[in-house]
Amino acid sequence: MERLRSSPLHANISTALDKQLESIHVVQARRKDEIVNASSRQRHGPPRCQDERVVLALAAALRALCLATRKVRTMLWCAFQMTLPK
């Protein structure tokens, strides 16, 4: 879009994209934690209290990713509208 406009986009667009990418990495890390926790639980018996914390951390990370994705979609739509010829 920057090439179409021949000028850089607003800095908030880059920031929103960076935050979304960071949120994706956090969700991936929480999911890995959940998988490790689930596999260790099968070896050691009944579920523990920590299982609940891992699932809640994953849910919080997914919520943050959802919010970041909404912001990015809005920012990209605005940038697209600014790119269109008048």
Position 29 scores a pLDDT of 96
Per-10-residue mean pLDDT for the chain, 86 residues long? 73 92 97 86 60 89 97 93 82
Amino acid letter at 42?
Answer: Q
Amino acid letter at 13?
Answer: I
Position 36 scores a pLDDT of 87
Closest CA to 72 of 34, 24, 36: 24
Q: How far apart are CA 75 and CA 10, in angstroms?
A: 9
pTM of the model: 0.79
